[in-house]
Amino acid sequence: MLQKDLVSIHDLTAADVAALFALAARMKARPAEFRTALSGKVLAMIFEKSSTRTRVSFGAGMTQLGGAAQFLSSRDIQLGRGEPIADTARVLSRYVNGIMARTFAHDTVLQLARHATVPVVNGLTDLLHPCQALTDYFTMSEKFGKLASLKLAYVGDGNNMAHSLMYGGPKCSVHVAIATPEGYEPDATVTANARADAAMAGTALLLTHSKEEAVEGAHVVYTDVWASMGQEAEQPKRVRDFAGWTVTNELLARAHPDAVFMHCLPAHRGEEVAAEVCDGPRSVIFDEAENRLHVQKAILATLMGRL
Average pLDDT, integer, range 196-215: 98
Residue 26: active-site member: no
Q: Do 171 and 121 fall into the same domain?
A: no
Taking alpha carbons only, the member of 190, 272, 276 closest to residue 228 is: 272
Question: Is 2 a member of any domain?
Answer: no
Residue 132: active-site member: yes
Q: Domain count of the chain?
A: 2
Read off the pLDDT of residues 85-142 as tens digits, 9 standing for 90 and up: 999 999 999 999 999 999 999 999 999 999 999 999 999 999 999 999 999 999 999 9
pLDDT score of 78 more than 80: no
Q: Do 93 and 149 fall into the same domain?
A: no
Q: Do 57 and 157 fall into the same domain?
A: no
Read off the pLDDT of residues 48-65 as tens digits, 9 standing for 90 and up: 988 899 999 999 999 999
Q: Which of the four pLDDT bands, split at 50, 70 and 90, describes residue 2?
A: confident
Question: Is 3 a member of any domain?
Answer: no
pLDDT score of 202 more than 60: yes
Q: Do 112 and 171 fall into the same domain?
A: no
Q: Do 104 and 164 fall into the same domain?
A: no
Domain ranges, residue 37: 9-128+292-304
Question: Is 106 a member of any domain?
Answer: yes
Taking alpha carbons only, the member of 279, 269, 265 closest to residue 246 is: 269
Question: Is 1 a member of any domain?
Answer: no
Catalytic residue among 175, 292, 294, 296: 292
Q: Kind of pairing, strands 42-47 and 68-73?
A: parallel
What is the pLDDT, as a whole number, of residue 83? 86
CB 164 within 8 A of CB 136: no
Q: Which of the four pLDDT bands, split at 50, 70 and 90, describes residue 306?
A: confident
Q: Do 45 and 141 fall into the same domain?
A: no
Q: Which of the four pLDDT bands, split at 50, 70 and 90, describes residue 307?
A: low
- Strand blocks (E) in 156-304: 175-179, 205-208, 220-223, 260-263
Residue 70: active-site member: no
pLDDT score of 39 more than 90: yes
Q: Do 158 and 274 fall into the same domain?
A: yes
Q: Do 30 and 114 fall into the same domain?
A: yes
Q: Which of the four pLDDT bands, split at 50, 70 and 90, describes residue 234?
A: confident
Question: Is 186 a member of any domain?
Answer: yes
Question: Is 153 a member of any domain?
Answer: yes
Catalytic residue among 53, 55, 129, 238: 129
CATH number reported for the structural domain that contains residue 144 in this entry: 3.40.50.1370
Read off the pLDDT of residues 259-278 as tens digits, 9 standing for 90 and up: 999 999 999 999 999 999 99
Q: pLDDT above 90 covers what percent of the chain?
A: 91
What is the pLDDT, as a whole number, of residue 1? 65
Exposed/middle/buried for 45, CB within 10 Å: 0-12, 13-18, 19+?
A: buried
Q: Do 97 and 236 fall into the same domain?
A: no
Q: Do 14 and 87 fall into the same domain?
A: yes
Residue 94: active-site member: no
Q: Which of 5-19, 165-179, 233-247 has the lowest mean pLDDT?
A: 233-247
Q: Which of 98-102, 234-238, 281-285 has the lowest mean pLDDT?
A: 234-238
- Return the SS3 of 123: strand
Catalytic residue among 136, 157, 187, 224: 224
Residue 231: active-site member: no
Query: Average pLDDT, whole number, for the chain?
Result: 95
Q: pLDDT above 70 covers what percent of the chain?
A: 98
Residue 129: active-site member: yes
Query: Which comes out higher in pLDDT, residue 179 or 49?
Result: 179
State if pTM tops 0.85.
yes
Q: Do 278 and 300 fall into the same domain?
A: no
CB 159 within 8 A of CB 224: yes
d(C-alpha 265, C-alpha 175), whole Å: 23
Q: Do 233 and 298 fall into the same domain?
A: no
Question: Is 4 a member of any domain?
Answer: no
What is the pLDDT, as a whole number, of residue 74? 79
Question: Is 179 a member of any domain?
Answer: yes
Catalytic residue among 102, 163, 219, 256: 102
Per-residue DSSP letter, 60: H
Average pLDDT, integer, range 229-255: 91
Q: Which of 49-58, 145-154, 280-289 has the lowest mean pLDDT?
A: 49-58
- Note if the bond before 266 is cis, omega within 30 degrees: yes
